[in-house]
Structure formats: C-alpha cells, structure tokens
C-alpha cells in the first residue's frame, strides 16, 4: 500500500505555518488543501479537543460567511494529530495568496465575543466540549508568532 502524501512530510522539521498540502481536480475544478499548522509537531504540546472544537465552529462559520470565499469553502476541520487544521478551497492557490484569508479568520477567532455558533445540543453532537478563552488565546498566539511574519519556511513544506 502506498504512503499517502501527508505522511511523506518530514514532521520532525515541520514548523508552524500555512502550507499547500495538495492540489486536486474534481469535475474540472481545482481544489487546494491547506495545512494550517498551529503547533509544531512532536516538539510542543498538541491542542486539547475543547479549543480545537471551538476553533472548528468559529473557523467554519467565518469561512462559510466570507464575502469572497463562502462559495469556495469545501471544508474546514481539525487534524487527527491535534496540531492544526485542514482548509479545502475550490480553486488553485498558493500559501502566500491565501495567507490574508487565514489571518482574517484567526483575527475573527481571537476577537470573537458571545456564544460560539452551533454550541447548542440541537446543533452539535458534543456542544459542551468547547473552550472559547483557550481558542482565542491559541488564535492570538498563531497570529503573533507565525502568521503576521510568515516567511518561506512557514509557507513551504521542508524539503
């Protein structure tokens, strides 16, 4: 059995950042999968499920309401390893091209006030597993330490 592409990335050298995980074509339309890596794999603690769940609800809400990207959003959700998120968009993009959208989304999460969208029993299968203060903290940390000054090592997988 062939190793899938995401398992060929050297996770010992991978930094936090925004990476193009893959480009695919379905029905003639391009889809770009992004790896939004918030914690450094195998080098720092992973995120807990409550803050991941909160970021997922807020990130998906942001993207599906964004004036330019609501109709281009295919998926936004967590990685099983709890080090980041996958974001899939219709179209072919680079990490640098999409960086402003990712910054805008994490500013939305960092600055969010009020009830988390979809955090109710009728809307979500695990609505009690939320942590807005920690989600906001992690979004701010990602912005300040990575996104606001992302360079080539944060936008391109290691060779």
Q: Considering the entire predicted model, what is its pTM?
A: 0.95
What is the percent of the chain with per-residue pLDDT over 90, rounded to a whole number?
91
Closest residue by Cα to residue 81 from 3, 14, 1: 14
Domains of the chain: 10-148 (3.30.1360.80)
3-state secondary structure the chain: CCCCHHHHCCCCCCCCEEEEEEEEEECCEEEEEEEEECCCCCCCCCCCHHHHHHHHHHHHHHHHHCCCCCCCEEEEEECCCCCEEEEEEECCCCHHHHHHHHHHHHHHHHHCCCCCCCCCCCCCCCCCCCCHHHHHHHHHHHHHHCHHHCCHHHHCCCC
Region 147-152: mean pLDDT is 97
Q: Give the pLDDT confidence of 43-54 residue by residue, as tens digits.
A: 999 999 999 999
pLDDT score of 4: 79
Mean pLDDT of the chain: 96
């Amino acid at each position: 059995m062939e190793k899938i592409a995401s398992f060929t990335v050297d996770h010992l050298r991978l930094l936090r950042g925004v990476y193009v995980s893959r480009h695919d074509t379905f029905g003639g339309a391009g889809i770009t999968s992004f790896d939004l890596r918030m914690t450094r794999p195998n080098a720092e603690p992973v995120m807990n499920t409550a803050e991941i769940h909160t970021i997922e609800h807020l990130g998906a809400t942001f993207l599906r309401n964004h004036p330019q990207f609501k109709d281009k959003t295919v998926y936004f959700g967590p990685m099983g390893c709890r080090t980041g998120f996958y974001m899939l968009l219709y179209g072919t993009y680079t990490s640098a091209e999409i960086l402003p959208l990712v910054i805008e989304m994490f500013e939305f999460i960092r600055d969010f006030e009020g009830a988390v969208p979809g955090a109710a029993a009728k809307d979500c299968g695990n609505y009690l597993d939320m942590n807005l203060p920690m989600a906001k903290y992690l979004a701010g940390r990602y912005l300040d330490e990575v996104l606001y000054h992302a360079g080539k090592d944060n936008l391109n997988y290691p060779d």
